[in-house]
């Protein structure tokens, strides 16, 4: 039985700070329980201020970065110094401002090309977590307006990958390749945390939470951690269309 928690914050700044606090707390709890924490971070624009908050003087000291391993939920096929690179964004916002061992940073080597990068990333996951489907302590996910998450876009091939933990995925609407964790990996996490901000996401948030049964047309509806927790961190704009009476555990701040 998964637990679903929804937290709503007044604005993007409050949402970012609260999400950073939550990520730090999950990291510390995992280290206390198992000696290390393994997380997969999201790309895109929304999490930038979360990573900046996590690297702030007040928060970064609270995390034992020596025992935190950071992976990525997905990556675009661009060099690390490209503005579109998820790794490049996290490096600027987080890695450049904390003392984390280089060996604890596990990027997707986009320069190899999608298929080779997916193979190399899966091997790195296996080294860190063994040959079963990896179990992350936390996977931070964003949400696209049409319901994609990580790089699992509607009606794309990687949605149907059931064996591998990582997959190359061609995205017709973008006419580009991505590398992404697969549903098997996302749904094996101890916790999946969706981070969504902005009025432009209100409709898809409502669809995914209120209305939709699981469908390949809206990949975020397929995220259901089999033995973990699903948490939604939203700002008021993104939550504007939610029928809060449906969620007894919904908390507004």
What part of residues 103-132 is at the interface with ligand 6PG (CB under 6 A)?
none
Contacts 24+ apart (CB under 8 A), 56-64: 56/20, 59/20, 59/21, 59/24, 60/97, 60/98, 62/24, 62/28, 63/24, 63/27, 63/28, 63/98, 64/27, 64/28, 64/31
Number of residues that bind ligand 6PG (CB under 6 A): 15
42 contacts ligand 6PG (rule: CB under 6 A): yes
Q: Which CB, 74 or 122, lies closer to ligand 6PG?
A: 74
147 contacts ligand 6PG (rule: CB under 6 A): no
To the nearest whole angstrom, how small is the minimum distance from the Cβ of residue 41 to ligand 6PG? 9
Please say whether the dihedral angle defined by the alpha carbons of residues 100, 151, 197 and 246, taken in this order, is positive or negative.
negative
Question: Which residue in the set 14, 29, 36, 44 belongs to the binding site for ligand 6PG (CB under 6 A)?
Answer: 44
- Are 84 and 76 a contacting pair, CB within 8 Å? yes
Specify the stretch interacting with ligand 6PG by CB under 6 A; choose among 88-96, 142-150, 205-213, 234-242: 142-150
142 contacts ligand 6PG (rule: CB under 6 A): yes
Give all strands of the β-sheet with 166-171 in edge-to-edge order. 74-76, 176-181, 166-171
Those residues with Cβ within 8 angstroms of residue 175's Cβ, 6 or more apart along the chain or in another chain: none
The three-state secondary structure class of 108 is: coil
The three-state secondary structure class of 153 is: coil
Give me the residue label for tokens 């401002």. Answer: 97
Q: Which CB, 133 or 220, lies closer to ligand 6PG?
A: 220
To the nearest whole angstrom, how small is the minimum distance from the Cβ of residue 89 to ligand 6PG? 9
To the nearest whole angstrom, how small is the minimum distance from the Cβ of residue 11 to ligand 6PG? 16
Those residues with Cβ within 8 angstroms of residue 161's Cβ, 6 or more apart along the chain or in another chain: 167, 182, 183, 184
Question: Which residue in the set 69, 73, 108, 189 belongs to the binding site for ligand 6PG (CB under 6 A)?
Answer: 73
Question: Which residue in the set 45, 115, 155, 249 belongs to the binding site for ligand 6PG (CB under 6 A)?
Answer: 45
88 contacts ligand 6PG (rule: CB under 6 A): no
Q: How far apart, in whole angstroms, are the C-alpha atoms of residue 247 and residue 18?
A: 20
To the nearest whole angstrom, how small is the minimum distance from the Cβ of residue 1 to ligand 6PG? 27
Give contact residues for ligand 6PG (rule: CB under 6 A): 42-46, 73-74, 86, 142-144, 148-151
């Amino acid at each position: 039985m998964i637990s679903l928690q929804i937290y709503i914050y007044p604005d993007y700044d409050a949402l970012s700070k609260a999400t950073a606090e939550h990520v730090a707390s999950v990291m510390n709890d995992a280290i206390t329980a198992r000696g290390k924490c393994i997380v997969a971070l999201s790309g895109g624009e929304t999490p930038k201020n979360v990573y900046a908050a996590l690297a702030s003087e007040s928060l970064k000291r609270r995390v034992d970065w020596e025992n935190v391993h950071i992976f990525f939920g997905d990556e675009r096929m661009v060099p690390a110094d490209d503005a579109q690179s998820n790794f490049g964004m996290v490096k600027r916002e987080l890695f450049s401002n904390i003392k984390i061992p280089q060996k604890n940073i596990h990027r997707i080597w986009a320069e190899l090309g999608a298929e080779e990068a997916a193979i190399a990333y899966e091997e790195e996951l296996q080294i860190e977590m063994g040959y079963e489907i990896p179990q992350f302590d936390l996977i931070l996910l964003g949400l696209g307006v049409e319901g994609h998450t990580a790089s699992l876009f509607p009606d794309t091939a990687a949605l149907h990958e059931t064996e591998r933990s990582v997959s190359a995925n061609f995205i017709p609407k973008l006419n580009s390749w991505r590398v992404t964790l697969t549903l098997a990996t996302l749904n094996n996490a101890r916790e999946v945390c969706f981070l969504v901000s902005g009025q432009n996401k209100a409709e898809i948030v409502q669809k995914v939470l209120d209305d939709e049964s699981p469908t390949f047309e809206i990949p975020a509806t397929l995220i259901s951690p089999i033995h973990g927790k699903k948490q939604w961190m939203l700002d008021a704009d993104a939550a504007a269309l939610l029928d809060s009476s449906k969620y007894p555990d919904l908390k507004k701040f």
